[in-house]
């Protein structure tokens, strides 16, 4: 993609950030700061738990409450986020219907809404795509708008499940004020929040600013996993003239941690009794590989030519002799015997190797020669052992053990900058010009054999003419949206033997460490993969025209409508860092092209009686379904989306009760990096949520979600094959995975990994003297862990509670998650990794924070 094509984006950014021209030469050079303070303070959101008091101005046009928006929407105010301790997308399922906690290697990079990954917007501008690069920072936010289903057609298209619009912290207009908060908690948690802002004059213009810092240091419940981050945020708003207001700001967010893959070797007994299959395979380490595994022996297609008994688990000799009957022990391979070693470290007979992989027999023998072979006091499982009635040895696994190493990392740094210029035109019109920049860089490495580097740069400019009419039910907008995305991904998942490491051991052996990514083997080449679209560089340039509005008919029915047409052009190539591909083969990885995207929506809304609204939604079009790291790979990265929704909203009892009931159906596809293709999905569901304040001092929040997502194909994509105890004992040393798998126990291809039914209730009671007590349960029904329905996760109930005291100038809060220390499990990504990983839920977590206002 040529950089000279980016001039429309840069032009919009320049206009939004530097437009200082007044209305005319007669405009006053200095405007009274007090008038600016009064004007902006009047627009400040109220501090409340009621969604009816929150205004939405960035996505649906006009200045609307949730009752006036013709879609299912959940709004979280700063007060709600503090009450429920929602500080990442992993906690979003505590509030509202349709929100889920879908686990992908322990990092909640994106929210999940209605069973699909949701888009993330910052004040209406689409942010960089995240699979699980980092938990999204909340240090720049003072609220969230969770939109169920795709955003209106006028905005950058994202997937159909939903979107989260982040409301940035606004400047303090009323007076100079700030706050400081410190916190301590479980697992050596320490946190610090600083916030300050004030009105001021800037270049002779009335203005206001706000600065914020959020810092966090802690371990996690899971062994060998830190959780550190820092957020630096600032924003300024200026009144340039009577017509022009400029808001700009940005954030630097630095995250340092590692992924949380979970527990390897999942079985029914692990789920039921926490019994874990022990043992590690025969030693495949080599001094030539730094005392780690000779990687090619675990990598397709060479692994097909390796003696399969080298992938079976071996039980330490003292354990085997103490727990296994001697009559059964003779059916295992005794690694104390040199003759067994000589027969074990061999290639497969050519008759047992698939024809396409017979070429690998010679290289496999060379790789086996690199292994530092020696006798070991251990016994290897064999099929004969299980045929004779033997069973796999197990132990109770400590609850904090996961497939993590202190040397693992998942570090990200994210920069954002935004600028919004509001120009008030004659009559009831205004021109909104917005510019958004984001640069997200991620570096990951896991010693079990995975590495991931990504860099994304987003430049997005948007200008929109908005017209309101005398009748507030009429509204129209028209605009231009220009967006450029550069995404570079290096990834290595070609050898990921998740089950090779015995998590019951207190130390991590070199025999479970596999070189990955930038690490180089004896051949001097790195290990970045060219499989599928694992490593790819892409430039995407999008130019769109959009229009929409609201029109009232028959004095009762509002029709919200919108349309967008967009050209998307891309260029893709193989990154130069991928050294395993010869230069002569690189042109085959390059491609360019373009396509036309379109989207339309129609949302009728009928106020049946005052306070009761019936609404509907129909939306069709195409959306971008990015690959890992925000990359595109061609036409398959753009998917058809459809949404049908109907519901009812009501504000009753003089605003004390707000409730929403909705039914929906959606179709879309998501892109699979491993399969280099799109997977078509379909979902149906029902949602109900309510906020009720029967008395001024009591607020009750509740929601119920029932959903089902279907994979609209007859076979599964590439993924790990579920195993029982004997299966792990015989195959634990390598990743057993394949594509094109049938699922006979799941004929309807119902998606796994998240509960189909869930509910939660939370109550907050204000007590005399500034005290408040709150708490409630989340219930999740049992659900299948994997698409083949080999494993099912039991349902559970988790309670959380908070006790707080607010004296006006200072406050203190005690928050407890998993109040009754419930033992529970969390699903994994159901197609690829659920067959080999499962995650233990966290134990009771306590956090105490205190702060003061000044």
Number of residues that make up the chain: 854
Half-sphere exposure for 439 (CA within 13 Å, toward CB): 4
Report long-range pairs for 80-87 (Cβ below 8 Å, ≥24 apart): 80/49, 81/138, 81/143, 81/144, 82/813, 83/49, 83/762, 83/764, 83/774, 83/802, 84/762, 84/800, 85/800, 85/802, 85/815, 85/817, 85/847, 86/138, 86/144, 87/138
Helix (H) or strand (E) holding 811: strand 810-817
Question: Which residue's entry shows tokens 């708003």?
Answer: 237
Residue 711, SS3 per DSSP: strand
Q: Which are the contacts of 718, defined by CB distance < 8 A and separation ≥ 6?
A: 672, 674, 675, 737, 738, 739, 831, 832
Residue 554: per-residue pLDDT: 77
Give domain 35-167's CATH superfamily.
Answer: TonB-dependent receptor, plug domain (2.170.130.10)
Q: What is the pLDDT of residues 790-804, one digit of tens each?
A: 999 999 999 999 999
What is the spatial distance between Cα 101 and Cα 91, in angstroms, rounded to a whole number? 7
Residue 59: per-residue pLDDT: 67
Helix (H) or strand (E) holding 15: helix 7-18
Residue 677: per-residue pLDDT: 66
Asked whether 543 and 482 are in contact (CB, 8 A), the reply is yes
Asked whether 8 and 461 are in contact (CB, 8 A), the reply is yes
What is the spatial distance between Cα 751 and Cα 723, in angstroms, rounded to a whole number? 19
Residue 452: per-residue pLDDT: 96
Nearest CA to 292 out of 213, 389, 405, 392 is that of 405
pTM of the model: 0.90
Nearest CA to 729 out of 248, 328, 290, 431 is that of 328
Query: Torsion angle, CA of 847/755/144/90, rounded to 10 degrees?
Result: 40
Residue 47: per-residue pLDDT: 62
Residue 43: per-residue pLDDT: 64
What is the spatial distance between Cα 641 and Cα 564, in angstroms, rounded to a whole number? 14
Angle made by CA atoms 24, 25, 27, in degrees to the nearest 5: 70
Which letter, b or e, does each residue of 670-691 get, where b requires 16 or more Cβ atoms within 10 Å of its Cβ?
bbbbbbbebbebbbbbbbbbbb
Spans of the chain below 70 pLDDT: 1-49, 57-59, 61-62, 470-473, 671, 673-677
Rg of the chain over Cα atoms, rounded to whole angstroms, equals 29
């Amino acid at each position: 993609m040529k950089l000279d094509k980016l001039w429309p984006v840069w032009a919009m950014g320049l206009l939004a950030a530097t437009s200082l021209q007044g209305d005319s030469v007669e405009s006053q050079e200095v405007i009274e700061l007090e008038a600016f303070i009064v004007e902006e303070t009047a627009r400040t959101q109220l501090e409340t738990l009621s969604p009816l008091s929150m205004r939405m101005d960035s996505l649906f046009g006009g200045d609307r409450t949730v009752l006036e928006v013709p879609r299912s929407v959940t709004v979280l105010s700063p007060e709600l986020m503090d009450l429920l301790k929602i500080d990442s997308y992993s906690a979003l399922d505590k509030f509202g219907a349709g929100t889920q906690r879908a686990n992908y290697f322990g990092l909640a990079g994106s929210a999940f809404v209605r069973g699909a990954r949701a888009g993330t917007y910052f004040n209406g501008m689409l942010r960089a795509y995240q699979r699980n690069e980092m938990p999204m920072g909340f240090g720049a936010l003072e609220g969230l708008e969770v939109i169920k289903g795709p955003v209106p057609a006028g905005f950058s298209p994202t997937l159909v499940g939903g979107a989260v619009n982040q409301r940035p912290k606004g400047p303090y207009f009323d007076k100079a004020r700030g706050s400081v908060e410190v916190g301590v908690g479980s697992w050596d948690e320490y946190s610090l929040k600083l916030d300050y802002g004030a009105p001021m004059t800037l270049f002779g213009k009335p203005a206001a600013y706000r600065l914020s810092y959020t810092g966090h240091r802690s371990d996690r419940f899971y062994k060998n996993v830190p959780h550190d981050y820092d957020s630096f945020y600032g924003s300024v708003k200026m009144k340039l003239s009577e017509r022009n207001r400029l808001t700009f700001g940005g954030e630097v967010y630095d995250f340092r941690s590692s992924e949380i893959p979970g527990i390897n070797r999942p079985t029914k007994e692990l789920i039921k009794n926490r019994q874990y299959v022990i043992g590690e395979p025969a030693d495949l380490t080599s001094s030539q590989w730094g005392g780690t595994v000779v990687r090619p022996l675990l990598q397709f297609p060479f692994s097909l030519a390796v003696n399969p008994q080298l992938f079976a688990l071996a039980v330490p000799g003292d354990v085997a002799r103490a727990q296994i009957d001697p009559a059964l022990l003779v059916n295992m391979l005794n690694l104390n015997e040199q003759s067994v070693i000589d027969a074990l470290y061999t290639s497969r007979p050519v008759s047992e190797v698939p024809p396409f992989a017979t070429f690998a027999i010679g290289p496999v023998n060379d790789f086996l020669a690199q292994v530092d072979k020696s006798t070991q006091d251990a016994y290897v499982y064999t099929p004969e052992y299980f045929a004779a009635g033997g069973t796999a040895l197990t132990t109770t696994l400590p609850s904090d053990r996961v497939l993590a190493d202190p040397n693992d990392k998942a570090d990200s740094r994210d920069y954002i900058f935004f600028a919004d210029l509001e120009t008030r035109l004659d009559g009831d019109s205004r021109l909104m010009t917005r510019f958004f920049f984001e640069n997200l860089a991620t570096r990951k490495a896991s010693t079990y054999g995975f590495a991931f580097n990504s860099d994304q740069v987003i430049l997005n400019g948007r200008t929109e003419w908005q017209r309101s009419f005398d009748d507030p039910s009429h509204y129209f907008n028209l605009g231009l949206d220009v967006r450029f995305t550069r995404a570079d991904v290096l990834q290595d998942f070609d050898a990921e033997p998740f089950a090779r490491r015995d998590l019951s051991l207190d130390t991590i052996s070199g025999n479970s460490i596999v070189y990955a990514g930038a690490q180089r083997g004896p051949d001097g080449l790195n290990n970045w993969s060219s499989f599928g679209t694992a490593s790819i560089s892409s430039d995407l340039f999008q130019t769109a025209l959009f229009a929409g509005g609201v029109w009232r008919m028959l004095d009762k029915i509002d029709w919200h409508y919108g349309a967008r047409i967009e050209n998307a052009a891309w260029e893709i190539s193989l990154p130069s860092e991928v050294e395993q591909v010869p230069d002569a083969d690189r042109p085959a990885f390059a491609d360019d092209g373009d396509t036309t995207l379109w989207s339309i929506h129609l949302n009728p809304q009928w106020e049946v009686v005052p306070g009761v609204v019936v609404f509907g939604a129909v939306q069709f079009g195409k959306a971008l379904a990015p690959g890992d790291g925000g990359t595109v790979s061609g036409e398959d990265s753009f998917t058809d989306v459809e949404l049908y929704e109907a519901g009812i909203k009501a504000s009753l009892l003089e605003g004390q009760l707000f409730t929403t009931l909705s039914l929906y159906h959606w179709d879309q596809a998501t892109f699979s990096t491993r399969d280099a293709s799109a997977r078509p999905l379909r979902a149906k569901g029902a949602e109900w949520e309510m906020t009720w304040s029967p008395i001024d001092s009591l607020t009750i929040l509740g929601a119920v979600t029932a959903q089902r997502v279907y994979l609209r194909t007859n076979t599964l994509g590439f993924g790990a094959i579920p195993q029982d105890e004997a299966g792990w004992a015989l195959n634990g040393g390598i990743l057993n995975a394949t594509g094109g798998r049938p699922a006979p126990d799941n004929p309807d291809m119902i998606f796994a990994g998240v509960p189909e039914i869930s509910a939660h209730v939370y109550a907050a009671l204000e007590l005399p003297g500034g005290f408040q007590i709150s708490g409630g349960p989340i219930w999740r029904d049992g659900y299948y862990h994997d698409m083949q329905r080999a494993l099912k996760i039991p349902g559970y109930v988790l309670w959380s509670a908070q006790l707080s005291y607010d004296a006006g100038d200072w406050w203190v809060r005690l928050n407890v998650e998993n109040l009754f220390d419930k033992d529970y499990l969390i699903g994994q990504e159901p197609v690829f990794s659920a067959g080999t990983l499962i995650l233990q839920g966290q134990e009771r977590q306590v956090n105490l924070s205190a702060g003061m206002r000044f």
